[in-house]
Chain A
């Protein structure tokens, strides 16, 4: 195990930013820390990097206890949410910084910087100041800077948070490819579940300062450990006593099945291959209650001959992932 975080607690005043968190992050993997804003992701990442200190608990990196080590002795690369570029240095100087601090010979520095700028596709911008780069370019420079010191682990705090959707997606794919090339243990923070699912080998879900679940993207999606994880990883709807994914709601036009709940189609929307329904349940489930969302394939919808106002009976599909619904608020 590359990074071992054990029983880490961090308080600000009497507020728990991290509450007894333990996770192990395997060597060579790309792990995502996923969770809502304010959940404690950055705090955990900063404690791993040594930029903050935990109130209690330990952090070990590659077998060495790093709990009391200052950041400059941990050999981690950190990429900051807002780049934290050195504004007064050129791109090349930025990337060279860590090597110069380590008193690397000049020729060696030059060679490494050249290689890294190549890697992040910034070779032609070597002599520019960061203010003359675009957001995505700055972010890649920050990444090259972090990689220059050959860190044991690479930590990225919402690396693409400040970028527009398209660049974000490009960089995301690029990060995955980069990781496949360089193979450095990488942890990145995101609050975007799609980003986490697409890029990471493993996802750690953090909420209110606690680890909700650790697992592969598939595990998390198919076997959410809690209502929260389920809700955070995809759309969820409520059908009677349970919560489940809209595509796990089975629709029938007659009350055949046991426990089927009757309702009326109040909205019908075709989106590409899908048909999205809103079904208002009968009065016995409370008229004010949220309608149930249902997703069907187009052909299935057509075979049922659905239209606005159709009477339908809903059940949870066999093998569907469900969690009990919380008491209505």
Chain B
């Protein structure tokens, strides 16, 4: 047998695996589907939302500023943003706490608690307002009469936003690796330290996502406030109610101007969600 002597060609190592970027993998059928879906989505969502921005620009920048800085509108904005921040703060604490109890605690009736958390998602908002009125309104069985006050606004917002942080934090908490906590404990960390240094950082993206959603929902809320807050200008009138009264008065440009602010908040929240989701999936 002859000695096979061959030249060994050294090849450069290939670059690391990368996902195909903007390349399309659409087939004829799926392109058609995408076309139909995007058309429908544009007609239903994108063009109408664009119309809000376009209409709000109808009276120029100065007109826009005048509408927004109208004292009654400013009061509504202040109230809505203030209450939404407050409620989001409450949710960050209570939502995380409830998620913790649902995941780590065991007690009779826990599954009922789990189901009740979802009720605000599904309950029609007008009904939500009505039921809160039953307990916290005039003739309250517990002797509170918060109807038509700022408290009522807070209450309604807290009700409708309750599930957001609970439902984003809960699955993350369920998947959290117990080993890591035990490892930390074996290294001598105290419970509070473990919570602060190990658990909280892993929950942070979920809490951020839930907080963003709950803030957006609070800013956007309308139905539950109609009956509960009384819609008194300068005291309990929120922005969505303000927009609606502009619409009812036929001043669509003013309505669109205020609505464009709400839309900006919504877009901001969606961007936050997208970023958080991407960060989480990169970790996982």
Q: Which residues of A contact B (CB under 8 A)?
A: 12-16, 38, 208-209, 222-228, 242, 316, 319-324, 326
Decide: B8 and A226 in contact? CB cutoff 8 A: yes
Evaluate whether A223 and B4 lie within 8 angstroms (CB atoms) in the complex, with A16-B14, A326-B10 already known. Answer: yes
Question: Which label, helix, strand, loop or mixed, suits the secondary structure of the B interface?
Answer: loop
Closest chain A residue to B4, Cβ basis: A223
B175 at the interface (CB under 8 A from A): no
Decide: B1 and A226 in contact? CB cutoff 8 A: no
Report the interface size for chain B: residues with CB under 8 A from the other chain: 20
Q: Specify which chain A residues have a CB less than 8 angstroms from the CB of B4 in the assembled complex.
A: 222-224, 321-323
Q: Which residues of B contact A (CB under 8 A)?
A: 1-11, 13-15, 17-21, 23
In order of increasing CB-CB distance, the 4 nearest A-B pairs are: A227-B8, A319-B1, A223-B4, A13-B18
Evaluate whether A222 and B7 lie within 8 angstroms (CB atoms) in the complex, with A12-B18, A13-B18 already known. Answer: no
| CB of A139 to closest CB in B, whole Å | 26
Closest chain A residue to B11, Cβ basis: A208
Decide: A226 and B17 in contact? CB cutoff 8 A: no
Q: Specify which chain B residues have a CB less than 8 angstroms from the CB of A319 in the assembled complex.
A: 1-3
Decide: B8 and A15 in contact? CB cutoff 8 A: no
Measured in the bound complex, the distance between the Cα atoms of B7 and A198 in whole Å is 28
Measured in the bound complex, the distance between the Cα atoms of B14 and A95 in whole Å is 39
Decide: A326 and B8 in contact? CB cutoff 8 A: yes
Partner of B21, one of A13, A224, A321: A13
Decide: A38 and B8 in contact? CB cutoff 8 A: no
Partner of B6, one of A13, A14, A323: A323
Decide: B18 and A321 in contact? CB cutoff 8 A: no
In the complex, 10 of the A-B residue pairs with CB atoms within 8 angstroms, ordered by the A residue number, are A13-B20, A13-B23, A15-B17, A38-B17, A222-B1, A227-B8, A228-B8, A321-B4, A322-B5, A323-B4
Decide: B14 and A323 in contact? CB cutoff 8 A: no
| CB of A51 to closest CB in B, whole Å | 12
Q: Specify which chain B residues have a CB less than 8 angstroms from the CB of A323 in the assembled complex.
A: 4-6, 8
Q: Specify which chain A residues have a CB less than 8 angstroms from the CB of B3 in the assembled complex.
A: 316, 319-322
Q: Specify which chain B residues have a CB less than 8 angstroms from the CB of A224 in the assembled complex.
A: 4, 6
Q: Specify which chain A residues have a CB less than 8 angstroms from the CB of B5 in the assembled complex.
A: 242, 322-324
Q: Specify which chain B residues have a CB less than 8 angstroms from the CB of A320 in the assembled complex.
A: 3
- Most chain A CB within 10 A, of B3, B13, B19, is at B3
Closest chain B residue to A209, Cβ basis: B14
Closest chain B residue to A248, Cβ basis: B3
Q: Specify which chain A residues have a CB less than 8 angstroms from the CB of B13 in the assembled complex.
A: 208
| CB of A323 to closest CB in B, whole Å | 6
